[in-house]
Amino acid sequence: MNQLEQLKQVTTVVADTGNFRQLAQFAPRDATTNPSLILKAVQSPDYAPLLHDTVAAHKQLALDEIVDHVLVRFGLEILKVVPGRVSTEVDARLSFDAAATQARAHRIIGLYEAAGIQRERVLIKIASTWEGMQAAAALEREGIHCNLTLLFSFSQAVVCGASGIRLISPFVGRIYDWYKKTAGSHWDESASSGANDPGVKSVAQIYRYYKKHGIATEVMGASFRNIGQIQALAGCDLLTISPELLAQLQASEASLPCALDPIAARAADIPAVSFDEAGFRFALNQDAMATEKLAEGIRQFAADSVKLDQMIAS
């Protein structure tokens, strides 16, 4: 078996793309999107007609409603290819407004259900701010499942797990980027790769904590920079991977051993942790990497949402 086939033996493989025409060759179970991926897709000649048709069909609506129709249209096309779930993201500009996040999630789910898609096949992506996590917890109680994204810290993962969130997406590559940039000329790539990669270590810590304490929240490593990071997380619940890295895995026949073991995690001595709002905000504040990358990620997704708005408005 190639490495992609081997990975599928121990981990659910998810495609991280808005380019649904690439999906079939990799046969992922699920797919994830975000504003940046959708923006990239609609700028392609292959997808411009889809954007134009969707906007034309709903031009009487407010701009934010048209945007949701576009996002859901891509999700519907993806669900024709993957047998599992698609993640569709709430506007990052709502990351600090729990009520507005819930309202947008309700609308997105409503559009999917109106198209005949059961809510079990949709994950609402929400930034892992305190407000985002509270909105997601409320949505989960209604049976609307969520994917908490832009997750960089153990404290974010602890709150998500305690809140009954269906799935989290710790960002491996962006954590790696921060530590590499901070280290500058002192960065040692070989010493900080594989299981020693700071992004890999973060996801492995969360995975082991969840398994030790019987937390049902699914861990989906995301934002990979190289296949070494993916190989070091084989055995994680899910991994969402770009088409470029999926192709690299598919092209390799090397052995890919399972790196994460739930049985070993359950036997480990890992104390339980809890955070109230004040405790969470302080813990996040103390983690410079997570604080900076969360803020940066929200800014980037918000900027791409503005660009998508502008394309639709024009």
Please state, in angstroms and as integers, the Cα–Cα distance from residue 124 to each residue in 120, 151, 251, 269, following that order.
Answer: 11, 15, 32, 33
Q: How far is 299 from 127, CA to CA, in rounded Å?
A: 11
Give the tokens for residue 38.
Answer: 């959708």
Which of 125, 211, 212, 293 is flagged as catalytic?
A: 125
DSSP letter for each residue of 62-95: -HHHHHHHHHHHHHHHHHTT-SS-EEEEPPGGGT
* Catalytic (active site) residue 59: no
* Coil, strand or helix at 8: helix
DSSP assignment letter at 19: -
Please state, in angstroms and as integers, the Cα–Cα distance from residue 26 to each residue in 84, 137, 270, 276, following that order.
Answer: 14, 32, 36, 41
Q: Give the active site residues.
A: 125
